[in-house]
C-alpha cells in the first residue's frame, strides 16, 4: 500500500497555500523570500509526483531547473535586501512603496 | 510502511511550513524551512526520485539556506519588523482566499480519477538517467540555467557592492525622524 499521487498533490497544495499566506501577511522581506521558497518547493513536489505517476523523468528535470531558478531568485532577492540594509532603509515591505503607481 | 513514512514526512513538511510563516524571528523561520526541505527530500525518495532528493539537500539545504542564514546574521535584529501585526481582516481575508484555493484543489484532485502510478524500473530517477536527459533532450534548459546563475551572481555583486554607504541618500522617512530628534535635542540640551 503506497500513497497515490493525489495525496502528494494535497500536501503540495497545502504547502503552497501556507506559503501564499506568508507572502501576503508577513512584512519582513526576508520572511517573504522564505515563503516564496515554500511555494516553489510545493510546485517542485507536484512536478516530481506527476513525473512518477506517468513514469517519465522529465518532471524531475523540470524540478531541477526550478531549483536553479530559485537559487537565482534568492541571490537577487538577498542582494536587494543587503543593498537596502546598506542604505539604511526600513526593511518593511509596506514602507518600500516608492514605485507604487 | 510507505504510507507511514509519507504521513510523517507530510506532517513534518506542513508543520515546518507553518512555523516558517508564524515565527517572528527570521532566523527560526529559516531553520524551519530547513526542516521543510528535509521533509520534502523524504517525499522525493518515496517517489523514487533519488537524484532530486540528493540535489534538494545539497543545493537547497547546503547552498541556498546558508546564504539566507548569512544575510539574516548580517542584518541582525533589523530583519524583524517591529510591530508586525496586520489588521485582523487582512489576515482573515488572506487565509480565506488561500483556503478557497486549497478547497478547490482538493475537490479537483478528489474528482480527477488519479489512481495508481505507472510501474517503473528500479533505476527510475537515478543520476544516470537524469544526467542523460539533461545533456540530450534538455541541454538547452541546462545551458540557460547556467547562464541565469551567472547573471544572478553578477547582479548580486552589483547590488551588494555598488553604492558606498556614506554617499547614499538616506531613506526620506528616516531622515525626517533623525531631523526631528536633532531638533528635540537642541530644544532640550539636558535631555
pLDDT per residue, tens digit, chain A (101 aa), is: 577 888 899 999 999 999 999 998 888 889 999 999 999 999 999 999 998 888 888 889 999 999 999 999 999 999 988 888 887 777 777 777 777 76
Architecture of domain A5-86: Orthogonal Bundle (1.10)
Buried b (16+ CB within 10 A) or exposed e, B15-43: ebbbbbbbbeebbebbbbbbbbbbbbbbb
User: Which residue among A30, A71, A80 sits closest to B159, beta carbon to beta carbon?
Assistant: A80
pLDDT for position A93? 78
Structural domain spans, chain A: 5-86
Architecture of domain B2-79+120-187: Up-down Bundle (1.20)
* A4–B133 CB contact, under 8 Å: no
A47: closest CA of chain B, how far (Å):
10
A51 with B134: CB under 8 angstroms?
Answer: no
Reported confidence tier of residue B39, pLDDT bands at 50, 70, 90: very high
- A29 vs B26: CA distance, rounded Å: 10
pLDDT for position A32? 92
A45 with B141: CB under 8 angstroms?
Answer: no
Q: Which residues of A touch B146 (CB under 8 A)?
A: 68
* B171–A89 CB contact, under 8 Å: yes
User: Which residue among B63, B106, B117 sits closest to A53, beta carbon to beta carbon?
Assistant: B117
Is the pLDDT at B76 greater than 90? The verdict is no
Over pLDDT 90: what percentage of chain A?
50
Residues B127-131: contacts with CB under 8 Å, at least 24 apart: B127/B50, B127/B51, B129/A57, B130/A57, B130/A60, B130/A61, B130/A64, B130/B51, B130/B52
The reply to whether ipTM tops 0.95 is: no
Is the pLDDT at B189 greater than 70? The verdict is no
Question: Nearest 5°: CA angle at B177, between B172 and B179?
Answer: 90
Q: Say what the pTM is.
A: 0.83
Residue located via cell numbers 526541505: B37
B148: closest CA of chain A, how far (Å):
7
Could you report the per-residue pLDDT of B82-133, keeping only the tens digit for each?
666 677 788 888 889 889 988 988 888 888 777 776 777 777 878 888 888 8
Closest to A19 in 3D by CA, of B163, B64, B16, B4: B16
Residue B64 per-residue DSSP state: I
Could you report the per-residue pLDDT of B130-144, keeping only the tens digit for each?
888 889 999 999 999
A45 with A15: CB under 8 angstroms?
Answer: yes
Reported confidence tier of residue B166, pLDDT bands at 50, 70, 90: low
pLDDT for position B87? 72
Amino acid at each position: 500500500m503506497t500513497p497515490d499521487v493525489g495525496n502528494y498533490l494535497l500536501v503540495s497544495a497545502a504547502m503552497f497555500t501556507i506559503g501564499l499566506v506568508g507572502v501576503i501577511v508577513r512584512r519582513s522581506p526576508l520572511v517573504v523570500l522564505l515563503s516564496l521558497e515554500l511555494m516553489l518547493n510545493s510546485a517542485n513536489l507536484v512536478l516530481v509526483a506527476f513525473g512518477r505517476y506517468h513514469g517519465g523523468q522529465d518532471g524531475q528535470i523540470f524540478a531541477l531547473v526550478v531549483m536553479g531558478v530559485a537559487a537565482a531568485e534568492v541571490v537577487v532577492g538577498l542582494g536587494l535586501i543587503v543593498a537596502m540594509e546598506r542604505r539604511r532603509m526600513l526593511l518593511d515591505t509596506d514602507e518600500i512603496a516608492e514605485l507604487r503607481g | 510502511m510507505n504510507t507511514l513514512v509519507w504521513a510523517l514526512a507530510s506532517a513534518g513538511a506542513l508543520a515546518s511550513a507553518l512555523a516558517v510563516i508564524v515565527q517572528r524571528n527570521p532566523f527560526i523561520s529559516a531553520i524551519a524551512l530547513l526542516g521543510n526541505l528535509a521533509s520534502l527530500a523524504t517525499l522525493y525518495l518515496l517517489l523514487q526520485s533519488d537524484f532530486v532528493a540528493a540535489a534538494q539537500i545539497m543545493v537547497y539545504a547546503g547552498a541556498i539556506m546558508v546564504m539566507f542564514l548569512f544575510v539574516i546574521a548580517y542584518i541582525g535584529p533589523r530583519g524583524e519588523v517591529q510591530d508586525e501585526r496586520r489588521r485582523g481582516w487582512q489576515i482573515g481575508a488572506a487565509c480565506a482566499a488561500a483556503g478557497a484555493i486549497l478547497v478547490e484543489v482538493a475537490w479537483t484532485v478528489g474528482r480527477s480519477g488519479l489512481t495508481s502510478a505507472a510501474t517503473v524500473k528500479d533505476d527510475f530517477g537515478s543520476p544516470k538517467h537524469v544526467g542523460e536527459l539533461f545533456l540530450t533532450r534538455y541541454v538547452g534548459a541546462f545551458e540557460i540555467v547556467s547562464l541565469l546563475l551567472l547573471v544572478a551572481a553578477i547582479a548580486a555583486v552589483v547590488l551588494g557592492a555598488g553604492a558606498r554607504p556614506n554617499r547614499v541618500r538616506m531613506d526620506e522617512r528616516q531622515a525626517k525622524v533623525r531631523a526631528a530628534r536633532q531638533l528635540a535635542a537642541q530644544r532640550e540640551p539636558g535631555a
